[in-house]
Amino acid sequence: MHKDLLANLDYNDLADDMKIVAEVCGMETARILIEKLGGVTIIIPKPLSMARLVDRYILKSHNYNKSSRAIALDLCMNEKYIRRRLRKLLDLKVRNEVN
């Protein structure tokens, strides 16, 4: 029944949040999300709030000899924070290699 109902889904039927999804990802994606995840609240994180992603980026950039300043500029973060985080990540990496 839901598929028949959703086949008639129009952009104007969508709530404001789903209109954003439709504009960014397309109506078909909005339709699939409504069909498969209707009623579920989803938080979409900002990339910089994804700590593991940021840590991998910092390490990868460091491995390509990118300076802490350049990494900080890429991420719009404080250079001092990048240096501290990099030291911590490198220390963890060394400890994991020893174990």
**Residues 30, 56 within the same domain:** no
**Is the per-residue pLDDT at 1 higher than 60?**
no
Q: Is the pLDDT of residue 2 over 90?
A: no
The band of 99, judged by pLDDT with boundaries at 50, 70 and 90, is low
Structural domain boundaries, residue 73: 47-98
Distance CA 14, CA 27 (A): 10
Q: Say whether both 54 and 94 belong to one domain.
A: yes
Kindly state whether residue 42 falls inside one of the protein's structural domains. no
Tell me the pLDDT tens digit for each residue of 68-90: 999 999 999 999 999 999 999 99
**Which pTM was predicted?**
0.75
The owner of tokens 């889904």 is 9
Q: How many domains does the chain have?
A: 2
Taking the C-alpha atoms of residue 78 and residue 71, their distance in angstroms, rounded to an integer, is 9
| Residues 61, 91 within the same domain | yes
